[in-house]
Amino acid sequence: MKWFTLEAHKQSDDGESTWDTTLAEYQDHLDSILDCLPADLATFARDSRYHLHDAELRQVAVDSLAQTVEMDLYIIDGRRLHLNFAGAKLVPGDPATLAGIVGMTADDHAYTEVCDQEIDLTPDGLFVLRLELFSYLPALTEFAVEFKTFALSCRDMTPAELAGRWDEARPGALIFTA
């Protein structure tokens, strides 16, 4: 993470007013790159309906040959969000490390939950989505998707998906296809 770092969260928790500064700096950054983002990505970056704080990360599917990544998330308001990335890779790229990150649960959560997200550009012109997950293991709380194209779809969750949503242990799943 570049903006919503562990240090920024700690300062915010300690009552320091740096969080407003961090948020303003990130919003300035988004403003500066907004014209470079494809329409779906700009919407995802700016529309509060797609803010992933407290979203449940259900699955990350990676096809390294096709260079695709797909993510399935349950958003707190009862919607299911599906993100598709092409020309994509996960960072870090080690499957064991990624499986540990995606399948991680915090002490008081029985599922993999997103804390923050950042949209950025890499120096070589790729887009990047950084995700930070709630955890008590700071070295393993974040990963990123670097990608060329992006699409999203969103729908209301079914009654079956909503039923018992918070009652069972469901760490996220990582699926690798080589």
19 pLDDT higher than 80: no
7-11, 127-131, 168-172, range with greatest mean pLDDT: 127-131
Which strand (E) or helix (H) includes residue 120?
strand 114-121
Q: Is the predicted pLDDT of residue 92 greater than 90, yes or no? A: no
**What's the pLDDT at 36?**
94
Rg for the chain, CA atoms, rounded: 16
What is the pLDDT at residue 21? 85
Mean pLDDT (whole number) for 147-163: 89
Per-residue confidence (pLDDT) for residue 33, from 0 to 100: 96
Confidence band, pLDDT 50/70/90 cuts, at residue 130: very high
More confident residue, 106 or 88: 88
Distance CA 79, CA 97 (A): 28
Residue 109 has pLDDT above 70, yes or no: no
State the pLDDT confidence band at 70, using cuts at 50, 70 and 90.
Answer: very high
Which contiguous run of DSSP H or E holds residue 33? helix 18-33
The whole-number average pLDDT for the span 146-175 is: 79
What is each CA distance from 112 to 33, 41, 83, 141, 146, in whole angstroms?
29, 23, 16, 10, 21
